[in-house]
Each structure stands twice: as C-alpha cells, then as structure tokens.
Structure 1
Amino acid sequence: MNPRRYGYAVAGLALLLLGGLGVYFSGKLQPYETTIEHGPAPKARQDPYLAAHLFLLDQDRRVTRSESFASMPATNEVLLLLGERSAMTPLQTQRVLEWVSEGGHLVFVAERLWDEHSARSGDLLLDALNLQQHLATDHLPADEAARAIGVKDQPQLTRLYLENEDAPVYLAFDTDYHLYDAGQRAHAWANSAGATHMLQLRHGEGLVTALTDSWIWQNDRIKEYDHAWLLWYLTQDRAVTLAYHGEHDGLFTQLLRHFPEALASLALMLLFATWHFAQRQGPLLPPPDHSRRQLEEHLRASASFLYRHAGPRQSLAMLQQDIQRRARQRHPGFEELAVAEQCRVLATLSRLPLPTIEQVLRPAPAKIGVSDFTRQVAHLQRIRNAL
C-alpha cells in the first residue's frame, strides 16, 4: 500500500473514533446551573452600613456621609452617630447638643457602662443627657437575673408599641444591656423581657434617640424582623447624615488614605538612603587564611601595628630600653658606668664605631625619615644581638 494512502486511512479511522466518542459522551452529559457565593462585595466589607445607606436612598432621602464633626448638618435633618465616639471631645459634644436643641434629631449608640463609684460613665453624650447604661442582669432581682441567664441562648426580641397600632414592632437588640432614664425625661421606649434598649426624649426643640446598639442596621441584620422599618420610622421625611467615625483621623491615617503612593516612595527612598550610607568605604579585605600561623607573620604584624599607632620614635625607644635591660643582665655593673663608658663597651661588643653607638642611643628626633629609621633599627638590632 502506498504510505501516503496508509496515513490517510489511519487519520480517517482516528477521526471516526473521536467522533464516536464525542457522540457517546455528549449523550451522557447533562447541563445544570449552580450558584457560587463569593461573599460580600469589597465595598460592603468596608462599609458595615452600606445596606442602610442604600435603603435610605431608596426612600428618596438625601443621605450624607460624614466622618467628623467639622460641620453640623441642618437643624431639620437626622444625625446618625453609628461609629466609635471614644475620642469625642467635650466641645464636640456641646456642639452636637446645641444642634439638637435647635431642632435636630440625634440617634446615637450608648458606649459606656455606668460607674457607681465615679457617678459617671465616661460617655459624654450619655452623661450630658442624664442617661445610664447598665448590664441587663444588674437591675433585676436575683431570681429574675438567674432566669434571664438561663434563657440567654433563646431569642429575646425587643417590642416597640406605637399609638394606634395593634401589633408591636419586633427588634433584635442585644439583650445584655439596659438603658435607664435617670432624669425621667423619656417619652418613648422599647423593651425586651428584662431591659430597655431604646429611649427617646426631647432636648430643646429637637429629639434624641439613644440605643444600646446599632447592629440591627448592619448589612447582615437590617433585613431581619422590623429593623429596616425602625430606620425608616426614625428618619422619615428628613435628610440623613451618617457619621461613621466620631473622631478626627490622625495625620498619618489621612496621608495613608489620600497619598499612599507618596508614602511608599518616601519609604523606599529612606530604605535606599540607609543602604547607601551604611556601605563600607574602600575595598573589602579578603578573608584571612587561618592556616598561616608563622611566628614571622606575627612579628611583622606586631611591628606594623606599633609603627602605625606609636610612631617610629616609640619603636626606637623600645629597642633602646631592650638594649639597656640586656646589658644589665649580661654584664653586671653596666648601669653604674658613665654614658661614655657604656657606649665604649657596646662599641667593643658590637664592633660598631663609637660615634655610631652614641648616635643610635640618643633619643630619636620628632621627625625621622624612612631610611634613617631603617638604618638606626639595623644598628640597634646588631647591638642587641651582640649582647
């Protein structure tokens, strides 16, 4: 058979086989639909009250988000303080309450428990309005507190009764906390089985609503019970300002938020500058060979060290002192001789001219050349060896 025709035949059989397998498996396959949950969107993860924001927009409200108390909203609006207020200053507290007294509606969350010893809670808004927050079991009799603890795992809903309404509004507040109106000014409230979770009172021309928590309006809980309805009821017919943060962000936080690229560039510049100035100056010395341990190398290294740090005068002085010490040891009475007699004795022993002996034993000058230093060292070593 022609090889070309044989190849065509094999290719045709392979195509037929693949076609048959495709028809077989296509009959076995069945299409189906599935939903893959990716969780909340990044915007929802960053904003826990995004659903409440969108809900108010659907009610045709004008919603403004504020992150500080730099400017107060208009007096006919509702201010929702849902964020952390631990850094709220007395001046900011006074400004908010003045805004309420002029006709604003403030909705805020109690953040601190009442302290009986200091007679204050530390929450500036609560203390200014004469409101107190306690643990729910603290104000109950012992038997009722025990029963409340026993049914803690069971859902206990808060009920809000309205005029001209037969059925109450059901809310899932955290039943661990209780609001107490120490000034007896509240005209509306919402209670669970053993605690009060919402108080509403007049303040000047405005209205204040205090809550034990605002979790009922977060993204994952606003759809439950009557949570969305309560948000509509408290803000109806008014524009809304959502304040997520009651304190001013620090300089670094603002720079990080608005200029992250500039901060990253500055950090890289500081890193490279530190690396540059931390470099060694000059070439790196090769690592020493630890196998070289000869006495001559140690002597050379010691002499080089002394020459660099003490100078040539010190080296010559040390040689002269060594000669005097050896002469006293080898020739008793040498130190009692006059200087001229000592020079003659050394000249005789070393066979050097007397003027040379006298010259090398004198103190060295402040500045001495390399050749003179070498010559004097050679003469002194010859005298020392002769001893």
Structure 2
Amino acid sequence: MSESTRGARGGLMLLGGGAFLFVLMAWFAVNYERVERRIDLPPMGEAAWNPLYALKQSLRADGIQAESRPRFTQAVGTLGRRDTLVLLDDPRYITAARADELLAWVERGGHLVVRTPPGAQLSKHESLPLLDALGLQAMGVGDCEKFQVTGEAEHVEFCGDRRFVFEDVEPELSWGNLRDGYVYARLAHGQGHVDVLADVDFLGNGIGPRGTTPARNGLRDVPHQVLARQILAPNYGHGTVHLIYAVQMPSLWRTLVERGWPVWLPLLLALLAGLWASAQRFGPVLPVPGTARRSLLEHVRASGEHLYRYGKGALLYAAARQAFLMRLRRRDPVAAALTGEAQAAALADRFGLPAARLQRALQVPSSRERREFADRISLLMHMRNRL
C-alpha cells in the first residue's frame, strides 16, 4: 500500500469520526435541557439537635428575643414578668415544687406553654403535679381535629394525641368538647396565662417533605405558623421567649448508643480483632489413643528401649550374649568350650563371617561404643537363630 493511499484512508477515518461526534453533540443539545432542582438537605449544626431551632430563628427575625436550651436549669425567679416559657417535653418530669414555682411566676404575668403526657397509656396512679395544680385531668388519645386556614388546603391537627378535661376551672379559650376531650385550652392564672395542648410538635422544625402526616412538617406549613402565632399571643412582643426542648435529658448510655456509634463501633471491632489475634490457637484434632494390648513382643521391646534410654545397655548386651552362648553349648559344645581367638576362628568357619568381627561381637561394648552396640547384638541374635 502506497503512502498516499494510507494518508487518504486516515483522513477519511478522521473525517467520519468528527462527523459522528458532531451529530452526537447536536442530538444532546436538542434533546436535553439544563434545569435547576432544589433538594432539601438534612439539618446541620444546631438544627440537627434542637427541634425548636426554626421557631427561635423565626421569632428573632420578627424582632422577638428568643433563647433555646435543652434543659430548664435556671431558677424560675430569673424569668421576666412578661416572658414566655415553652416546654416541649413530657410534663410528668416536672416535680410538685417546680410546678408551684412556675405557677407563681405565671401569676406575676408570665406565659407558660405545656403539653399533655405523650404515649398511648397513662397509669391511673401516675402523678401530674402541673396539670393537677391547673385543675386539668388527662384522658386517652383521640382522633384528629380539623384546623382550617383561609386560602389553605384542608388540614387536621392533634391526631392520636392525649386529650384532657377541666375540673372546676373555666378556660379563656378551648378547643374540643366534653365527650371527646379537649386538645387546647388557655387558662388565666393571676396576671399571666397557661396554654395547655395535646401536642406541640407543630412548633418543631419539620422532619418530612410536604404531604406527609399532619404536624410532621412543623413550621414549614402555613397552618402551623398561624397556630404558633396564636399560641404565643399573650406576651408576644414583650419579654423573652424561652424554648426548652428537652425537660429530661436522655441518659449518657442512650446518647452514646444513638450518636456515639461512629466512635465506639470501630473501637469495638478493633478490640475484638485484638482478642482474636491474641487468642490461643488449637491444632488439629489428636487421634484416638490406641486400646491397651498385651503383646509379649511389644512389652519386651518397650523394656529394652527403656533400659537403653537410661544407660542400661550393658544389661541388654549381656542378655543377648548369654542367650547365644547357651544355645551354642547345646548345638556346638566344642566351639562353646573354646575362648578368645580360637573360639572366634571356630565360629568364623561355622558361619562364614570375619573372625575379627565375631571376636568384637563377643566382647562387652563400652558406653562410648553406642554405634556398635546395635550391630553386636544384631550379630549375636543372627548367629543364635542359625544354630
């Protein structure tokens, strides 16, 4: 193939590739359009652990001084006369002494917002100091209550929350009825007010997208914003709003389990790996020990090995030499009567073996002649068997 033909073919391939790339880009430009999409990210920072963070920021944006903390540890006497205190958690953790202090502060002009105890069951003997002091009695859970805001879709609140009834007290505002119980009441107490609700989750940040179950969107929903503004109305614009989102703090162990697993789980795995690495290793399974046997030859062999191991080889040699000489006396008395070189020569003629080797075999080996020990005994036994 000539150079010109190769160049023409390469140019055609390059031109075809460029055309294909151009068509692909044109198709992409015609069929695809860049659009923006908004994705709600999970809460970060204080919003991740403070369910009233959105309410605090909304109040501050409206010019209201608002503070939030997990526990109400300050003295009740430090609260301002026109302050508002919102308790998000279970009121059962409020002691009788603390309830008296709170109601004394409300009587001076404060505004207290509390909820009924959550949960499906409530013991009849369980004490509720704050609600008892207000003249309220907790009931069971009830169905949803409709809450319609002009211009908004149909909305319901307090689904499956604990209701209450009044005992010798007349509320300024109430929501519910005597048969099913009430989900909200505003009680005048001295110069202040106490708002009691079946639940206050509509004041939260909101944990789900729009369209989920009621009250899970928190202040994202307009009806919740309207309801929150009405609840905070008595002292709105006066004093400070104190938002307490955990009257009872969870235990340290529960916090470690729920939030500390990125730390303790790798440490636990490292500990288990270290224990596994340092653990004792077991070898293969040993064979089953043999059953006891009574073979005479095995006992004789074991006795000989024992004597030889503990330096008693001379006794073994003496026994082998004695056995050979006794048979020699019975089979060849003439050779047995000879001694020394004469006996070795006679035995050499009889067995066809070197006389020097036979003479050494008839001599007691010393302790240093361990290598010749087996050879001498073996030779003695060989000659004994041939007699």
TM-score category by the smaller chain? 0.5 to 0.7
* Number of residue equivalences: 269
1:111 alignment counterpart? 117
1:134 alignment counterpart? 139
Structure 2 counterparts to residues 127-276 of structure 1, below 5 A: 127-135=132-140, 156-157=145-146, 172-174=156-158, 178-191=163-176, 195-218=181-204, 219=206, 220-222=217-219, 223-225=221-223, 226-237=226-237, 238-252=239-253, 271=272
The Cα shift of 1:270 comes to: 6.0
2:360 alignment counterpart? none
- In 2, Cα distance between equivalents of 1:271 and 1:136: 47
1:52 alignment counterpart? 55
User: Could you say what secondary structure the match of 2:33 adopts?
Assistant: coil
- In 2, Cα distance between equivalents of 1:190 and 1:255: 41
- In 2, Cα distance between equivalents of 1:35 and 1:15: 35
> Structure 1, residues 262-283: CA drift from partner, whole Å, max 9, x if none?
867875786577558x733xxx
Q: 1:248 to 1:36 in 2, by over 3 A?
A: closer
Q: Please tell me whether residue 125 in structure 1 is matched to residue 116 in structure 2.
A: no
- In 2, Cα distance between equivalents of 1:200 and 1:126: 13
Q: Is the 8 A contact 2:91 2:115 kept in 1?
A: no
Q: Is the 8 A contact 2:67 2:241 kept in 1?
A: yes
- In 2, Cα distance between equivalents of 1:294 and 1:194: 85
Q: Is the 8 A contact 1:63 1:241 kept in 2?
A: yes
Structure 2 counterparts to residues 1-387 of structure 1, below 5 A: 1-2=2-3, 5-6=7-8, 8-22=10-24, 24-26=26-28, 28-33=30-35, 35=37, 37-38=39-40, 41=43, 46-71=49-74, 72=76, 74-75=79-80, 76-111=82-117, 122-135=127-140, 156-157=145-146, 172-174=156-158, 178-191=163-176, 195-218=181-204, 219=206, 220-222=217-219, 223-225=221-223, 226-237=226-237, 238-252=239-253, 271=272, 279-280=279-280, 286-288=283-285, 290=287, 293=290, 295=292
Q: 1:126 to 1:112 in 2, by over 3 A?
A: farther
- In 1, Cα distance between equivalents of 2:79 and 2:57: 21
- In 2, Cα distance between equivalents of 1:254 and 1:23: 54
User: Could you say what secondary structure the match of 1:83 adopts?
Assistant: coil
- Give structure 1 stretches of 5+ with no counterpart: 138-151, 161-169, 304-387
- In 1, Cα distance between equivalents of 2:253 and 2:44: 23
Q: Is the 8 A contact 1:173 1:212 kept in 2?
A: no
**Structure of greater Rg:** 2
Q: 1:265 to 1:215 in 2, by over 3 A?
A: closer
- Give structure 2 stretches of 5+ with no counterpart: 207-216, 303-387
Q: 1:69 to 1:275 in 2, by over 3 A?
A: farther
The Cα shift of 1:32 comes to: 4.8
> Structure 1 length normalisation: TM-score?
0.54
> Structure 2 length normalisation: TM-score?
0.54
- In 2, Cα distance between equivalents of 1:190 and 1:70: 32
- In 1, Cα distance between equivalents of 2:122 and 2:25: 82
Q: Is the 8 A contact 1:82 1:243 kept in 2?
A: yes
- In 2, Cα distance between equivalents of 1:190 and 1:232: 16
Corresponding letter in the other structure for 1:174: F
2:352 alignment counterpart? none
- In 2, Cα distance between equivalents of 1:295 and 1:232: 95
The Cα shift of 1:109 comes to: 0.5
Let me know the Cα RMSD of the aligned residues. Answer: 4.5
Q: Is the 8 A contact 2:116 2:163 kept in 1?
A: no
User: Could you say what secondary structure the match of 1:63 adopts?
Assistant: strand
> Structure 1, residues 200-221: CA drift from partner, whole Å, max 9, x if none?
2233443211112213323314
The Cα shift of 1:241 comes to: 1.0
Q: Is the 8 A contact 1:80 1:107 kept in 2?
A: yes
Corresponding letter in the other structure for 1:236: Y
> Structure 1, residues 260-306: CA drift from partner, whole Å, max 9, x if none?
88867875786577558x733xxx5642453874757xx99xx9xxx
- In 2, Cα distance between equivalents of 1:19 and 1:158: 60
Corresponding letter in the other structure for 1:197: V
The Cα shift of 1:57 comes to: 2.1
Corresponding letter in the other structure for 1:129: L
Report sequence identity in percent. Answer: 18
> Structure 1, residues 24-82: CA drift from partner, whole Å, max 9, x if none?
41563241525354465456565443432332222112221122231145233111011
